[in-house]
Amino acid sequence: MSIKKVIIADTIKLLLAGDKNILHRADLKVLTAKSNDEILALHRVEKANLIITHLDLPGMLTENLLTSIRGERELRTVALIMLCTDRPGDTSRAQHCNVNAVLTLPLDKTALFEKTHHILNIPWRESYRVLLSVSIEGMNREQSFFCKSENISSTGLLLETDRNLKEGDRLTCAFFLPDSKQITVSGNIVRKMAAAGDVSRMKYGVKFDQIASDARKAIDSFVKKKSHRPN
């Protein structure tokens, strides 16, 4: 199994505490740093694949950190995700830091995990995928369709389809999990993005707003079991 290395600012790691996410995978080595100086020192030793940091980390100026990394042949190929406030001055600074992605605070965890998946080229866990029957509220039965979900949790899921949906569309999703009855949940599309490698398909983030307690327990149990298995 190929191990990829991620260096993450400890303040960002704390924001993700308690969440089962990509950083818990067995095929990732995750290291934390408290300052820009520590990031640089760790990267020189570990040769990380990805650094996740924020603009105002203590230590050397972030601009100087990025200049050092991009200026050294053995360090420059690392991917970087930068977090910053949405103040114009901060976003402008971050965008000029020669990074792969800029995300603004408050942290959108789903966006961070999706960027991490894409940058590291790590496949979504097949064990987290389920076949869904999806219907759009206000549409007739002919508008129902089947698709696969990714990264399902008790709060939402990511689905991929060639259907043209819109942010705000309300969906009802029905699916089966191992050792459970059919689960039906409702929610709204809160995010839309292109599917990697296929311009005809889109990915949609769905946030649940109606889920029964037994369905929540079944999903949590499913994710807990699968989170301990490497790809």
> What is the phi-psi region of residue 65: left when phi exceeds 0, alpha when psi lies from -120 to 50, beta otherwise?
alpha
Residue 12 and residue 180: Cα distance in Å, rounded?
A: 35
What residue ranges define each of the domains in the chain, with the CATH number in brackets?
4-120 (3.40.50.2300), 126-226 (2.40.10.220)
- pLDDT tens by residue, 105-138: 988 887 888 788 888 876 545 446 778 889 887 7
Which pTM was predicted?
A: 0.57
Return the pLDDT at 59.
Answer: 96
92 pLDDT higher than 70: yes
Instruction: Spell out where the chain has E strands.
Output: 4-9, 28-33, 50-54, 79-84, 101-104, 131-136, 145-150, 156-161, 170-175, 183-194, 202-210
